Amino acid sequence: MNINNVAFERSFGISSQLPPSSLPEIAFAGRSNVGKSSLLNKLFNRKSLAKVSQTPGKTATINFFSCDGVRFVDLPGYGYAKVSKAEKGRWAELIEGYFNQERNLALVVSLVDIRHAASDLDENMIAFLQDAQLPYAVALTKADKLSRQQQIKQKAALKRQLALDEDVPLVVCSSEKGDGIDELRALIGAAARG
């Protein structure tokens, strides 16, 4: 896959608008502000493919990108407290709607902030992926904010908390410094090839 061939496709505000899955999909999920947009931009070496915001709680949409026959699905960031009930409902509709459809899911990248214990919503997301037997990997974001020593400690703590199986890839990432980016690209490439 040549990352330079990525193109934004469309945003969707309601899951029933989603077109059937015509390509293998790599979906990205995580709580609001976890660093999902930054990671997508870093993966594709772009500044503003996905919008990075200082203020979390953007409008909930599912954004499609495509690159060399693979679709990248940016799911809405969950768990931002200061949004209306209606907005939270829209988030749930989109994310549940997406996973309830017959999608050609090659990989779900579930993002968790390496600095903190996983939130209840992170735990729910990963338990769902596990129960549904979907192929997934966990990206631990913002690693540059911790020392190497702390990274190792937090990686082990999160692996325990989330009860991850040995075969679930757990990638320490930094969109600032580039840690984990090649590893994620390799996982995505392998998953997309089947």
The binding site for ligand GDP (CB under 6 A) comprises 30, 32-38, 52-54, 56, 77, 141-142, 144-145, 174-176
CB of 132 to ligand GDP, least distance (A): 22
CB of 133 to ligand GDP, least distance (A): 26
Pair 147, 186: CB distance under 8 Å:
no
CB of 172 to ligand GDP, least distance (A): 10
Of the pair 66, 174, the CB lying nearest ligand GDP is at 174
Rounded Cα distance, 180 and 38, in Å: 13
CB of 80 to ligand GDP, least distance (A): 8
Of the pair 20, 81, the CB lying nearest ligand GDP is at 81
Rounded Cα distance, 183 and 71, in Å: 19
DSSP 8-state secondary structure symbol assigned to residue 167:
T
Name the nearest CA neighbour of 158 among 100, 191, 113, 188: 113
